[in-house]
Every structure is written in structure tokens, then in C-alpha cells.
Chains A and B, each alone.
Chain A
């Protein structure tokens, strides 16, 4: 049990709004091992960002509360940490990279000063030493002239460069886990390729675990070891990347994979889509959240919340229809090699 780096069990985070309880994260369990990359895939509003904020205990709104579940990091209960321990946990053990690097970088301070401050917050070293470490880190993430760049303000750099700086800041803390929340979504494809390559390379060097939150399956195929598909606050499928790709089991995963246009598709042929829209998280209750959009839905799907079932090799799927003797066959999906 204690060999997992992160162990989340049955996590529930609800938002209490004037118009009802929004179940943003509703019973999520998973683990991340050292040096592993876990991809978390889902559309906007599926709860992936709220989940990472819950793990970091960074829920901004007073309305959002973790109502149930446990989060263990390196064996320690994250929900029980006090303010001091929490600061240590956030800066040193776990670091976050956000979609918009500007949320990590303060626009009114020089990059060097911000990095030095971040380093000194957790390590008892001199300013000069911290500056040297910062410059080294900037060089590592491929920023030309790192010494000079320390004196730049964030707005003087492009989005891709800022994201590199954010990654460099993360590196300085030597975290055991990096939570990357859509780190390349705001970037162009060529820059995205560079950043992903950089993250991969750094991971091999330092053996850091990464939780990569994204909506882009292509990024998952490239980066991750395991992947977890979320829908409306719940995990619908979890498997090793190659296993998920060759043998997806949940109808939502099928839809997600089929609605990405691929370069070798026949142009202008209607794509298969997931009809309808994700449900309002204040309305979900009993039954499978995906049933309204699922073409295989049965009456029982409205009654029982499907539990994740392990099909072997750590491939879990939460779908009633997949646990019967005759498994559901994917219809008309793209054929993958």
C-alpha cells in the first residue's frame, strides 16, 4: 500500500451554490507512482481541475468543500496537514504548472527575483546561491542567455518562454510530483512539441511523477504511462495508455477517441460524435452520468451508479454494460493499428 506516491481514495468535492449542490468531484480514486506519468482526460467541467485543486488543498471558493475521501502523499494524510506543513507540501513536494503561465508568474516582478524568492522560501541559502540555481534551471529548460533573462519581466517573453520559466521554477523545488494542468493548451503546436519534449526529458532525469491534465488525447498518447478518463465528476475508465488505446471499454472513451479528427481520415465524411451535452453537475444523482448521451444505455443505467471494475492489468471501467458476460462491442469506431 505505502509504495504509491499519491493515493487518492473516494475523493468527493462539492460546491454549495444558491441553486443546488454541484458535485464537481464525485468519488474519485487513483494512485500515482514515483516516476510515473498519469494522464487525466476529460472535457471542460468534468472536474479534473477541481480534483487537482482538492489534492493541493487549493480550493479557492469558500463554497467548495472536500466532503469525503482521503488523499495520501508519501504516506502522509494531506487533508490533516496544518498550515506550515501545507506550505512545505505545496512548494517542495508537489508543484503545479498551469495553462496560463501568467498565473504562476507575477507580472510586476523580475523573473530572477521571483525564482530566488521561491527557492529561499524552502531552502536556507544565500541570494547569490539562489540566483545561481535559478540561472542553471533556466538554462536547463532551454532559455538562451539565462543570466540575462533573470532580469526580464514576464511580459517581455513569449507564452512558450513563460511556460519554460514556470517549469524552471518548478524544477528548482525538486518536487516529487508535478501537477500539470493543461500546460500546453495555450501554446502553438510547435511550441507544444518543444515543451512536452522538455517535460519528458526532465522527468527521465529527476524521476518525478507527473499528473498531466489535458483534453488532448494526442498529448496523452505521447506523454503518459497510464490514463484516467473523467466524465461529470467521476472516473469512467482507467488503464495503461497502450491498453486504453487498443482496447477502450467505456462508451464515453469511444466517443472521445472517435470525435478527434485524425490526419488520415476521409475528409468531409461525417464524424461520429457524442450527441448532446454533459449533464449539469447539480443534477447528477443516481445512475450513470453518461447515460443520456450513451447509445447503449439500458434502463438499469438510470438506477445504479456504476462501480469501477478491474478487468485485469489495472484496466478499470465503470460501466454496467461491460461487466456482463457478453461484453459490449464498439460499433463503427475508427480502426486503430
Chain B
């Protein structure tokens, strides 16, 4: 196996949002991301899974610079993206693109497909080689499985699946290396979901793309990813190759997540590992393991000390004291 080349590296990323306190209350912070570190290798897919409010969307928005990190750094090919200015920064935007969750609001309703897809050409003043911008836009539109006659239509004339294709075409115009996909198929019907997933996998090979793929659906993540990061309450609790998540989930949260997935057949009898109660509030920094209040293996140590994400074997890290002895 060739040496894996790191395209994007996230180091100790923390993102907090201030919460408006009532009257004279002390100003509080919501910890959306708390000390997250990970690497994305060129040409591979890193899947991030977690429930709502676990910080996976915040992570993606920090990477595409929609949010500014409170602490920590993000490196693209070894360069800190927060330090980039002017031309360098504009260039960075060409290398990292994003597909949004909601196909309905992510296209300007007053722009035709052609206008939307050609928008990046104008922003970055790109002139495609040997063809007009419109011809290049048509090429991309066809690459994502739409037709020429779709070019001059408005977004409201398309279904969710088709709009997501348009979004993908628009992101591809600038020739990105990293495509951040924030729940790109969650809003779609089952049959559309499979179509879009197939498309993303085909495009990855065709355009040599690297994906950061975010989803709350473990089957989707498992299907598309090479490496999976499991997030809970702003932390990465487990990081492992995609195959391992199904065969050898280590963290109690991953195990619970896996057992909560509805069965794949009516004959399957699933053993349920129930997590008690609700996800605790992310406001303020709590000591100890984020899962402590819901975990059945919780010990005194879990409540007071935070487990670090540690490699228990090659490529498989977990943040849990159960594996630290």
C-alpha cells in the first residue's frame, strides 16, 4: 500500500458559540467542537457520523471557512488556512468545496441552472481551456447526469435529487480537491439517495476527489467511507477504518449507535444496547467523558477525567478508559 498523503489536517479544533445569558448571568459558551483532531488522506473518504448536535456540521463549516475556529488550526497541504489572505485565500476556496444538506435552499431561486453553475467561473475569473464557459458548464451538467434542456431552467422546476446534482456540478466547476459533503443525501428519498451516492462514488474516481462525508446514517457512511470518525457532543470518540465499525466497534457509544439501527430484515433479532436519557447539554465545558451520564460502563474515573483519543491498534483509535489499561 502506497504512503497515504495527508490533504487536510485538523489540529485541536475547538469552536464555541457564545450564549446570550439572561440579565446579569455570566456569559456562557456552547462547545460545538471540543479539541477535535483528524486527518483526511488524498483520494479517500473520511466519514463523520453522529447524532444531531454532535458538532459534525460545525466541523464541516469550520473547514470551508464559514465558521472561524475558536482554537486550533486547519492545514491544507501543510498550510494553515486561517493565515491565508487575498489571492492565496481565494485559491483555497477553489480547492475546498461543499455540498449542503438542504437541496432546496442551497440554490439561488432566481438563477437558472446555467447561471448557477457558471457563477464560480465569474467569481474566480476562470476561462476554461478550448471552450466557452457555457460549454464547460454543459459538460459538468452532463457529468452529474442532467441534460442539456435542463440548463436554462430555474431551481423550483427540479426535484431534490436533481438539485443536489446541480449543487455537485457547481462545486465541481472550480476543480476542487476536497469536497465537504454535509448530509448530502439526508433530505432525499431512498431511490434518489442511492442515485446520488452512486454519482458521488463515480465522480470521486473520475475527478480524483477527496471527500469529507457527514451523515447521521451509519449505513450510508459505512458504504461510502474509507475511514470513519464517530462524534459525540463535540468530541471524536472513535476513529477507525470503515470495515471495523461494523465488525469491531469499540466505544460504548459506537456500539449503542450500531444497535439502534433498525434491523436489515424482519428475521433479525437485535440486541439493544440502550443509552439512557437524552444527550446532555453542550453548554459549558463538562469534566469527564461526554458519555458518562448515559454509559452503562461508567466508572468514577469517567466522571472526573476526560479520556483521550488513543490508538488501540494500527488505524483504530478510541477515546474510552475501557481500552486504556
- Asked if B256 and A259 make an inter-chain contact with CB atoms under 8 angstroms apart, the answer reads no
A304 CB to nearest B CB, Å = 24
Instruction: Check if A268 sits within 8 Å of B224, measured CB to CB.
Output: yes
Q: Does B223 interact with chain A (Cβ within 8 Å)?
A: yes
Whether the pair A261, B260 counts as a contact (CB closer than 8 A) is no
A263 at interface, CB cutoff 8 A:
yes
Q: Which residues of A contact B198 (CB under 8 A)?
A: 270-271, 273
Cβ-based interface call for B220 (8 A): yes
Over the window 226-262 of chain A, the binary record of Cβ atoms lying under 8 Å from chain B Cβ atoms (1 yes, 0 no) is: 0000000000000001100100000000011011111
Q: Which residue of A lies closest to B246 (CB)?
A: A263
A313 at interface (Cβ–Cβ under 8 A)? no
Knowing A189-B218, A259-B190, A267-B225 are in contact, say whether A219-B265 is a contact too (CB < 8 A).
Answer: no
A216 contacts the other chain (Cβ, under 8 Å)? yes
By beta carbon, the residue of chain B nearest A260 is B190
Please, how many angstroms separate the alpha-carbon atoms of A216 and B261 in the complex? Answer: 11
Sample of 19 A–B contacts (CB below 8 Å): A190-B275, A191-B51, A193-B262, A193-B274, A194-B274, A216-B262, A221-B262, A221-B266, A259-B193, A261-B223, A263-B246, A267-B223, A267-B225, A270-B198, A270-B201, A273-B195, A273-B198, A277-B159, A277-B192
Q: Is the CB of B189 within 8 A of A43?
A: yes
A residues near B219, Cβ cutoff 8 Å: 260-263, 265
**B261-278: contact bitstring with A at CB < 8 Å (1 yes, 0 no)?**
111111110101011011
Q: How far is the CB of A303 from chain B (nearest CB, A)?
A: 25
A306 to B: closest C-beta gap in Å:
20
- In chain B, positions 227-277 with a C-beta closer than 8 Å to chain A are 242-243, 246, 256-268, 270, 272, 274-275, 277
Which residues from B are CB-within-8-Å of A267?
A: 222-225, 242-243
Which residues from chain B contact A216 at a C-beta distance below 8 Å? 262
Distance A260 CA – B192 CA, assembled complex (angstroms) = 10
**Bound CA span A149–B116, Å:** 49
Apart from the given pairs A196-B262, A216-B262, 14 other A-B contacts in the complex at a CB distance below 8 Å: A43-B189, A189-B216, A193-B259, A193-B262, A197-B272, A197-B274, A221-B262, A221-B266, A260-B190, A263-B218, A263-B261, A268-B223, A271-B198, A277-B162
Q: In the bound complex, do residue A192 and residue B194 qualify as a contact, i.e. CB atoms below 8 Å apart? A: no
Q: Give Cα A38 to B263, complex, Å.
A: 17
By beta carbon, the residue of chain A nearest B158 is A277
Inter-subunit contact A263/B274 (CB<8 Å):
no
Interface residue tally on A, bucketed by range:
35 or more
Instruction: Map CB proximity to B onto A137-158 as digits: 1 under 8 Å, 0 otherwise.
Output: 0000000100000000000001
Interface size of B by CB at 8 A reads 47
A188 within 8 A of B: yes
A61 contacts B by Cβ under 8 Å: no
Q: B307 CB to closest chain A CB, in angstroms?
A: 20
Instruction: Give the docked Cα–Cα distance between A277 and B277 (Å).
Output: 40
In the assembled complex, the Cα of A215 lies from the Cα of B261 at a distance in Å of: 14
| Interface residue? B311 (CB, 8 A) | no
Complex interface: chain A residues within 8 A of B30 (CB): none
The answer to whether A222 and B262 touch across the interface, beta carbons within 8 angstroms, is yes
Among A201-222, those with CB < 8 Å from B are 215-222
Bound form: Cα–Cα A258–B195 in Å: 12
A43-B201 contact in complex given A190-B256, A190-B257, A192-B260, C-beta closer than 8 Å = no
> Which residues of the partner chain B approach A64 to less than 8 Å between Cβ atoms?
none
Indicate if A103 sits at the interface (CB-CB under 8 A). Answer: no
A53 interface contact, C-beta 8 A: no
* Contact yes or no, A188 B267, CB < 8 A: no
CA distance A194 to B304 in the complex (A): 28
Q: Is the CB of A215 within 8 A of B189?
A: yes
Does B300 make an interface contact (CB < 8 A)? no
- Give complex CA distance A292, B70 in Å: 52
Write the nearest CB–CB distance from B229 to chain A, whole angstroms: 16
Residue of B nearest to A46 (CB): B189
Known A221-B268, A271-B194; contact A263-B257, beta-carbon cutoff 8 A = no
Contacts of A144 in B (CB 8 A): 277
A183–B270 Cα distance when bound, in Å, is 21
| Nearest B-chain residue to A334, judged by Cβ | B264
Q: Is the CB of B266 within 8 A of A43?
A: no
Residues of A within 8 A of B51 (CB): 188-191
Closest CB in chain A relative to B159 CB, distance in Å: 6
Assuming A267-B223, A270-B198, is B159 touching A158 (CB within 8 A)? no
Find the B residue at minimum CB distance from A161: B278
List, in ascending order, chain A residues with CB within 8 A of B268's CB: 221
Give A241 to B51 CA distance when docked, in angstroms: 29
Q: Min CB distance, A316 to chain B, in Å?
A: 18
Give the most central of A191, A245, A267: most B CB within 10 Å. A267
Cβ A242 vs Cβ B261 within 8 A: no
Within 8 Å of chain A (Cβ to Cβ): is B184?
no
A161, A189, A255, A273: which contacts B261 (Cβ < 8 A)? A189
Q: How far is A192 from B272 in the complex, measured between Cα atoms in Å?
A: 12
A336/B191 in contact, CB under 8 A: no
Please tell me if B134 contacts chain A, counting CB pairs below 8 Å.
no
Q: Which residues of B contact A256 (CB under 8 A)?
A: 190-191
Task: Give A266's nearest chain B residue, CB to CB.
Answer: B223
Return B309 CB to nearest CB of chain A, in Å: 21
